[in-house]
Amino acid sequence: MLDLQQLHYFVAVAELESIARAAERLHISQSPLSRQIIALETRIGFSLFERSGKRLNLNLAGRRFLAESKALLSAAQRLEARAGDESKGLAGNLTIGYVESAMHAGVFRRGMLALKRRCPAAGIQLQALRTADQFDAIRQGALDVGFAHRAHGMVANLESRRIFEEPYLLAVPVGHRLASEASSTAKALDGEDFIFLPQHLAPAGHAQMLAACQLAGFEPSLRHEAADPSVALELVACGLGLAIAQASLKRIAPPGVRLIPLPKGFVLKLEVHLITNRVPTPLAEQLSALLPTV
């Protein structure tokens, strides 16, 4: 295998056409430099120079070898720099899982913009996954980072940190009797038709939302289901029922939908957590450092 140090010596001699001047540039003695050039020629099996006294001129093979040597040294320098950047978390690939609410909330976008400024060479791969699936994927090494909902019983060796929080609002059709109200009351919502997240997709989240309604003093009638929050808002616009939506969705609510505050007793908030291994990859650690704790 070629010695990169010998190639470095060869490039200096080839460019200066002199052992003496190359030795001066490289800060080494002439004799060791000459031996290194001879050793390189012996290794590759052909001469690189036409020698005339103390002057060295590249032959045809030497000129070709010089171009290839420079390319190889340049690639080695890039590899070394990239390896250093990766060890510092400034480069490499980051595989991220996310729940849709993190996208709507804008916390994912802010994190990615900050990471791009800090680590422009980083490659990003995304996977839309439910919270529980993100835990499994991070534990198995398939994900580096997760933007997930509140952890219900953390998986061993994972870290969870809350990076975003916002209230929920009540989405009502514009023709509904509550559409003209400044806020809702528990009495007005009791027994109303609601569009809820399917229980089989997120049992813990479904139970938590239902419990929050009951704690606030009303019992929703679960008539329709929608896994996608934006689809739930469309169903509200069609007059099929009410929905509980994160506040961030107010900016994308379709025509025919109004979002108003829920009863004061409704205390549940939407949370987005950053999930990583307890010993995160350098790039995951960079992303974590760029996001605040809420």
Question: Pick from 87, 110, 132: which residue ends a domain?
Answer: 87
Same domain, 105 and 157: yes
Note whether 99 and 147 are within 8 A (CB): yes
Same domain, 135 and 220: no
Same domain, 240 and 252: yes
Predicted confidence at residue 151, as pLDDT, reads 65
Same domain, 248 and 286: no
Note whether 259 and 253 are within 8 A (CB): yes
Note whether 179 and 172 are within 8 A (CB): yes
- Which residue's structure tokens are 């991070």? 138
Note whether 89 and 281 are within 8 A (CB): yes
Query: pTM for this structure?
Result: 0.68
Same domain, 197 and 59: no
Residue 191 gets which letter from DSSP?
T
Give bridge partners of residue 146 from the DSSP assignment.
97, 275
| DSSP string computed for 59-71 | -HHHHHHHHHHHH
pLDDT in tens, the chain (294 residues): 788 888 888 888 888 888 888 888 888 888 888 888 888 888 888 998 887 777 788 898 888 888 888 888 777 776 666 665 555 555 578 999 999 999 999 999 999 999 888 888 888 999 999 888 999 899 888 899 999 987 655 566 888 999 999 999 999 999 999 999 999 999 999 999 999 989 988 888 899 999 999 999 999 999 999 988 999 999 999 999 999 999 999 999 999 999 999 999 999 999 999 999 988 888 899 999 999 998
| CATH code of residue 178 | 3.40.190.10
Give 129: exposed, middle or buried? Use CB within 10 Å, 0-12, 13-18, 19+. Answer: buried
Note whether 263 and 216 are within 8 A (CB): yes
State how many domains the chain has: 3
Predicted confidence at residue 257, as pLDDT, reads 97
| DSSP string computed for 256-284 | TEEEEEPPTT---EEEEEEEEESS--HHH
Same domain, 159 and 131: yes
Predicted confidence at residue 255, as pLDDT, reads 94
Question: Pick from 87, 105, 130: which residue ends a domain?
Answer: 87
| DSSP string computed for 16-29 | HTBHHHHHHHHTS-
Question: Pick from 66, 87, 108: which residue ends a domain?
Answer: 87
Predicted confidence at residue 79, as pLDDT, reads 65
139: tokens are: 């534990």
Same domain, 47 and 128: no
Same domain, 243 and 174: yes
| CATH code of residue 57 | 1.10.10.10
Question: What CA–CA distance (Å, rounded) separates 151 from 160?
Answer: 7
Same domain, 159 and 233: no
**Position 170, amino acid:** L
Same domain, 71 and 191: no
Same domain, 259 and 173: yes
Same domain, 147 and 181: no
Range of the domain at 142: 91-163+272-290
Predicted confidence at residue 23, as pLDDT, reads 85
Predicted confidence at residue 152, as pLDDT, reads 56
* Sign of the CA dihedral with 80 first, then 91, 281, and 88 last: positive
